[in-house]
Structure 1
Amino acid sequence: MIHAADLREWRERDVVDAESHKIGVLEAVYVDTTTDEPAMATVRTGLPTRHRLVFVPLDDVIAGPDCLKVRYAKALVKQAPSIGTDDVLPADREEAIFRHYGLPYKPGTAGERQLARR
């Protein structure tokens, strides 16, 4: 298991898909609020003047010598819900990210968010 602190050290490194196609650059790590383990990352994509941050799950992530490899195809990640580079993820958009990847979404017992940026 790769811990959130370890993944944060990979900021500004490339994120690639299972076929080693570059998706973008690691921007931030989001942890599951119930376990404090890495759950999602934002990946900076787009042109230099039109960057956006797309979300990608970190399940089965592999840290290589110069990149992070995720198990999701580049095309799927590029179509994922995104935010602007200076934006924060609104709580009401969190579930859509999980749904995009076919993952179950479980807010906390008191309705709190499942993801927190670390």
Structure 2
Amino acid sequence: MQTGIDPRSLIGRKAFDRDGHRIGTVDEVYLDDATGVPEWAAVRTGLFGRDAFVPLGPSELTDAGLRVPYEKALVKDAPDFGVGRHLSPEQELQLYLHYGLALPSAPSADRDPGTPAGGSG
């Protein structure tokens, strides 16, 4: 994803899958505590849906919204951790495995992945 983007500017934007199908709306953005880099977005998948986490690294911000390089079904099947609290290292590992992403280098004791940057939660 482009650097230098205020993560709060993503909140409320529409999210689309790799084929352009609408997934939902970005509800929250989670930052890596060590770097401050936006790492995950929680996308509300429907009016009565839930929030599905999507990785921001391989995603693209367009004029239309956030485009993630995955099928809508894969996003909707992502593990459900709720929003508004930290992602634990174990939860983040589950997300990496779900999306088939390369695992980050061994986490250090002071690295806390997934601090919400703000949102409606």
TM-score range, shorter chain: 0.7 to 0.9
Q: Whole-Å Cα distance in 2 between the matches of residues 107 and 115 of structure 1?
A: 16
Relative to structure 1, is the Cα distance of residues 94 and 112 closer, same or farther in structure 2, using a 3 angstrom cutoff?
Answer: same
Which range moved further: 76-85 or 35-44?
76-85
Report the TM-score when normalising by structure 1. Answer: 0.79
5 Å matches for 1:82-101? 82-84=80-82, 88-89=85-86, 91=88, 92-101=90-99
**Kept in 1: contact 2:52–2:78 (CA 8 A):** yes
Q: Whole-Å Cα distance in 2 between the matches of residues 4 and 20 of structure 1?
A: 22
Q: 1:8 is paired with a residue of what secondary structure?
A: helix
5 Å matches for 1:1-118? 1-3=2-4, 5=6, 7-46=7-46, 48=47, 50-84=48-82, 88-89=85-86, 91=88, 92-103=90-101, 104-106=103-105, 108-110=107-109, 112-118=111-117
| Number of aligned residues | 114
User: How well do the aligned residues superpose, as a CA RMSD in angstroms?
Assistant: 2.2
Q: Structure 2 regions of 5+ residues with no counterpart?
A: none
Q: Whole-Å Cα distance in 1 between the matches of residues 29 and 107 of structure 2?
A: 19
Greater length-normalized contact order (CA 8 Å, ≥ 6 residues apart): 2
**Displacement after TM superposition at 1:66 (Å):** 2.5
Relative to structure 1, is the Cα distance of residues 80 and 110 closer, same or farther in structure 2, using a 3 angstrom cutoff?
Answer: same
Relative to structure 1, is the Cα distance of residues 88 and 33 closer, same or farther in structure 2, using a 3 angstrom cutoff?
Answer: closer
Q: 2:57 is paired with a residue of what secondary structure?
A: coil
Q: 2:53 is paired with a residue of what secondary structure?
A: strand
Report the TM-score when normalising by structure 2. Answer: 0.77
Q: 1:100 is paired with a residue of what secondary structure?
A: helix
Identity of aligned residues (%): 33
Q: Structure 1 regions of 5+ residues with no counterpart?
A: none
Q: Whole-Å Cα distance in 2 between the matches of residues 3 and 76 of structure 1?
A: 28
**Kept in 2: contact 1:4–1:31 (CA 8 A):** no
**Displacement after TM superposition at 1:89 (Å):** 4.7
